[in-house]
Amino acid sequence: MTIIKQTNGNISTLSNENLGLLLGTIAVIAFSLTLPITRYLTYFLNTWEIGLGRTFLAAIGAVIILFIKPQPLPNKKQWGQLAITASGIAFGFPLLTALGMKTVPASHGGIVLGSLPLATALIGCLLSKERPSIAFWSVAFIGFGIVCIFSIYSNGGLSDISFYTGDFALIGAVIMAGLGYAQGGILARSLGGWQVICWTLIVSLPLLIPITIIAVNWNDFAKMPLQPWLAFCFLALVNSLIGFFFWYKSLAIGGIARVSQIQLLQPFFTWLFAVVFLGEMFSMVTLFFTVLTMLIVMLSKKTPITK
């Protein structure tokens, strides 16, 4: 009887991991559109308008969702965790991303954000009881190394490695996103995935509303044509809201360290979308690195993680 229970438990755990990886992949595809859309919107809006505006619109969406589907209020401890999550997701990441993308090409920015898996896994270990094995970290660093090699290649090789001032902002965005992802993933185990992002955005409103009113020039929004308006709404409602429904759920059921490695694919999805929407160059080398990174993600799934 004990053996059967243990077997069923393993099946359940494996099923959760697989579902978590699937949901995480959907979220990463959505997130990979962030930089190309942000880059596009910099021609119409400034950094504050993009960063604060997308969060403000997403928060309005969260208020509507919680009004339609009321949820129990978080407890005192959860409010504190939500505040930490909001600092990374609602403020740090969107503002620093918008700031960085003013001087950084979308494809290059996607490569810098390739360090997100490591940041999320590392911060997740500090905040949770997950303890990835040496094999996991080895595979994770190999994956990051592949992304770095691809970054060097995409920027013209060792003789022409560009470093933009916007990279400082993007590195800050990586740290803040890793914090928001890890803390939100832990919180999703008790609150639920979509509830976490909705409450996170609600928590941000007391600070978000006055800052947005002061910093945003609403005439810039009024002058925007329909196409950038649609892009802005997608950035706010899909990338900053709905995408997190899948992401936090995936972290909760699949494990923070395990699911975080799917983010290794985000630079390549970003590169592809940059080619499609921004006319940046595409080569077969991109496909090679994408397949190689997919193999690394699959290999990381086989490495042990203890709790």
Q: CA 152 → CA 111, 157, 160, 284, distances in Å?
A: 10, 5, 8, 16
Q: CA 285 → CA 77, 268, 288, 295, distances in Å?
A: 48, 11, 5, 15
Other beta carbons less than 10 A from residue 160's beta carbon: 8
Domain extent listing, the chain: 18-306
Q: Are 83 and 203 in contact (CB under 8 A)?
A: yes
Q: What pLDDT is stored for residue 79 in this prediction?
A: 94
Q: What pLDDT is stored for residue 107 in this prediction?
A: 58
Percentage with pLDDT > 90 across the chain? 30
Cα separation, 112 vs 169, in Å, equals 10
Say if residue 10's pLDDT is above 50: no
Quickly state the pLDDT bin for 155 (edges 50, 70, 90): low
The mean pLDDT value for 281-291 works out to: 78
Say if residue 130's pLDDT is above 90: no
Burial (0-12, 13-18, 19+ Cβ within 10 Å), 147: buried
Q: Residue 283 — left, alpha, or beta (φ > 0 → left; ψ -120 to 50 → alpha)?
A: beta
Q: What pLDDT is stored for residue 301 in this prediction?
A: 83
Percentage with pLDDT > 70 across the chain? 86
Q: What pLDDT is stored for residue 163 in this prediction?
A: 65
Q: Supply 151's token pair.
A: 């970054």
**pLDDT (tens digit per residue) in 52-67:** 888 899 999 999 999 9
Other beta carbons less than 10 A from residue 141's beta carbon: 11
**pLDDT (tens digit per residue) in 214-262:** 888 888 898 999 999 999 999 999 988 999 999 999 999 988 988 998 8
Q: What pLDDT is stored for residue 286 in this prediction?
A: 77
Quickly state the pLDDT bin for 307 (edges 50, 70, 90): low
Quickly state the pLDDT bin for 205 (edges 50, 70, 90): very high
**Which is nearest to 127 in space by CA: 171, 73, 85, 172?**
85
